[in-house]
Amino acid sequence: MGFAEQRFNVNLSILFTELPLLERPAAAAAAGFTAVELWWPWIDSPTPEQSELDALRKAIEDAGVRLTGLNFYAGRLPGPDRGALSLPGEESERFRANIDVAADFAESLGCKALNALYGNRAEGVDPAEQDALALENLVLAARAADRIGAILLIEALNKPESPLYPLVSAPAAAGIVAKVNEATGLDNARFLMDLYHLSMNGEDLPSVIERFASITGHVQIADNPGRGAPGTGTLPLEELLDQLRKAGYEGYVGLEYKPGDRPSTEAFDWLPAEARAAR
């Protein structure tokens, strides 16, 4: 099958970041992409002014690209925060305030996937208390996603880069997916399979795909080591994506890698131009 048979989108929160936010959708379109995804762009505000939301919506619409994935508020990314929904106090409240804002923004652009980062372990707080809070907030997020006809994504990160994040394996994230679906009865929670993070955890990626492709709602890639473009490291990404397709995954593959010491427009030489437009 190969890369040409996949459906790619580009993450505008890690690629094209040399440009202002509102210029990135058009840059992605100029590079040949028709679909984009985003971390929550307003890292200090779960509830930005409506004018800011409208400006980003217009930039996406004017560029002629589709928004296919959006993170809920998760603090400062990339950085040490790694999510907010399991953190007692102010950060959890900020996450809750963001739920409907993010869902409404996603709905306005036809986006059908919302990603909720779990959050780090907090010093001096019982992990069981954090897990109970996380489930509460994930249930709220799943209901908001269901309201707009979207799925809720649960992501595993990697322990070397996120040592305080509790979901650092595919089984751990899949377990939370099951708990959320059981709690809501909506069956709209899905696993976000980030092959870079899982490889950093030392997981057997073909086995992960075999076990969890059926509950996977989105896939993200970067090569390892280095979190660069495919071909800059040693991961057999083409083979792994072929395995995912054969296992029944037909969704987007998000490009969530660092461009390195070059403009983002030069970081796609591994992908033929005709393969960048999602079919």
- Which are the catalytic amino acids? 155, 256
Identify whether the C-beta of residue 21 lies closer than 8 Å to the C-beta of residue 266.
Answer: no
Round to whole Å and give the CA distance between 180 and 177. 5
For the chain, report the end-to-end CA distance as a whole number of angstroms: 15
Distances (CA, A) of 215 to 151, 154, 173, 197, 211: 11, 11, 11, 17, 9
Give the 3-state secondary structure of the chain.
CCHHHCEEEEECCCCCCCCCHHHHHHHHHHCCCCEEEECCCCCCCCCCCHHHHHHHHHHHHHHCCEEEEEECCCCCCCCCCCECCCCCCHHHHHHHHHHHHHHHHHHHCCCCEEECCECCCCCCCCHHHHHHHHHHHHHHHHHHHHHCCCEEEEECCCCCCCCCCCCCCHHHHHHHHHHHHHHHCCCCEEEEEEHHHHHHCCCCHHHHHHHHHHHEEEEEECCCCCCCCCCCCCCCHHHHHHHHHHCCCCCEEEECCCCCCCCHHHCCCCCCHHHCCCC
